[in-house]
Amino acid sequence: MSKVVVVDHPLVQHKLTMMRDKEAGAKDFRELLSEISMFLAYEVTKDLPVEDYVVETPICETTSKVIAGRKLAIVPVLRAGLGMVDGFLTLVPAAKVGHIGLYRDPETLQPVEYYCKLPPDIDDRDVVVLDPMLATGGSASAAIDFIKQHGAKHIKLMNLIAAPEGIERVQKDHPDVTIYVAAIDEKLNEHGYIVPGLGDAGDRLFGTK
Ligand code: PRP
Ligand code: URA
C-alpha cells in the first residue's frame, strides 16, 4: 500500500488555514499555495541521493555533498496544479515540467483528458505529480496511469488537501506511489467537494468564479 506523508509543519497549517478562508482573494490564495508547495517539495525531495564533492572553502579543501544527478520531472494537473509549479521550481530549478490537462465532469465526476505534453525522457526521470486537491482520486489516478504508460517508474503525488476517499483510490490503483499532503480532511460532499476543504481550487487560483 502506498505511503502517505502528512506535512503538518506549523507554518504549513497556518498558511493552509488562510487559504481555506472564503474571503481570501486570488492573489493571497496563489501566494500561499506557492509557499506551501515549497514545504511540500522539501519533503518530497528528502530522499534524493547525494554524493561526495570536493570543494575549496576559504579555509581549506573539504569533501561535502551534492545531489547525485538524479533527474526530476514535475507534472502539474491543469489547471489547479499550475499553482504548485513555482514553489517546487524555487527549490529544484533544474526539474523539467510536463503538463496534463484533466477536468472532472461535474455530473459523473470522471476525469476527462484534454491535454498532455511530457518531457521526452520521462521514462528516465523521477516524476512528481502536482495537484492541490485529491478528492475522489479519479484525476490523480488517471494522471498517474498516463505517466506510467509513458514509461515512468518512480512517481510521487503531491497534494495540498486530500479526502480519505482519494487516498484510498490512489492506494488501490497505484500502491507504489507515495502521497505527500498538507492535510487530510474529513470527507467528500454529494458534489464530490472536499469537506471542509477550500472550495474549487482552480477557480480560486485563477479568479474564475
Ligand atoms: C480539481 C482538482 C483535481 C480534481 C480533483 O480539478 O484540481 O484535478 O478536481 O478531483 P478528483 O480527485 O475527484 O478527480 P477540476 O476538475 O476542478 O479542474 P480545474 O483544475 O481545471 O478547475
Ligand atoms: N476539486 C476542487 O477544486 N475542490 C474540491 O473540493 C474537489 C475537487
Could you read off the pLDDT tens digit of each residue along the chain, which spans 209 residues? 779 999 999 999 999 999 999 999 999 999 999 999 999 999 999 999 999 999 999 999 999 999 997 799 999 999 999 999 999 999 999 999 999 999 888 889 888 999 999 999 999 999 999 999 999 999 999 999 999 999 999 999 999 999 999 999 999 999 999 999 999 999 999 999 999 999 999 999 999 97
pLDDT attached to residue 70: 73
Q: Is the Cβ–Cβ distance between 50 and 68 less than 8 Å? A: yes
pLDDT attached to residue 69: 75
Largest CA distance in the chain: 66
Spatial separation of the C-alpha atoms in residues 130 and 31, rounded to whole Å: 16
Cβ of residue 103 lying under 6 Å from some atom of ligand 2: no
Cβ of residue 200 lying under 6 Å from some atom of ligand 2: yes
Nearest to 131 by CA among 182, 176, 185: 182
Spatial separation of the C-alpha atoms in residues 151 and 154, rounded to whole Å: 10
**C-alpha 120, offset from chain centre:** 21
- 140 is written with which cell numbers? 490523480
Does the annotation mark 108 as catalytic? yes
Cβ of residue 163 lying under 6 Å from some atom of ligand 2: no
Q: What is the DSSP code (8-state) at residue 58?
A: S
Q: Which ligand is nearest to the CA of 198?
A: 2
**164-173 and 138-149 are packed helices; what angle lies between their axes, rounded to 10 degrees?**
20
Backbone angles phi, psi at 96, to 5 degrees: -85, 155
Does the annotation mark 52 as catalytic? no
**Vertex 201 angle, CA 126 and 122, to 5°:** 15
**10-20 and 26-44 are packed helices; what angle lies between their axes, rounded to 10 degrees?**
150
Q: How far is the CA of 191 from the centre of ligand 2 (A)?
A: 9
CA-based end-to-end distance of the chain: 37
Does the annotation mark 104 as catalytic? yes
Helix (H, G, I), strand (E, B) or coil at 156: strand
- 70 is written with which cell numbers? 538524479
Cβ of residue 83 lying under 6 Å from some atom of ligand 1: no
Alpha helices (H) in 45-117, listed in sequence order: 85-91
Half-sphere exposure of 87 (CA within 13 A, CB side): 27
Spatial separation of the C-alpha atoms in residues 50 and 37, rounded to whole Å: 22
Nearest to 155 by CA among 116, 183, 127: 127
Mutational test site, ligand 1, from 82, 139, 203, 208, max ligand atoms within 8 Å of CB: 139
**Vertex 90 angle, CA 87 and 93, to 5°:** 125
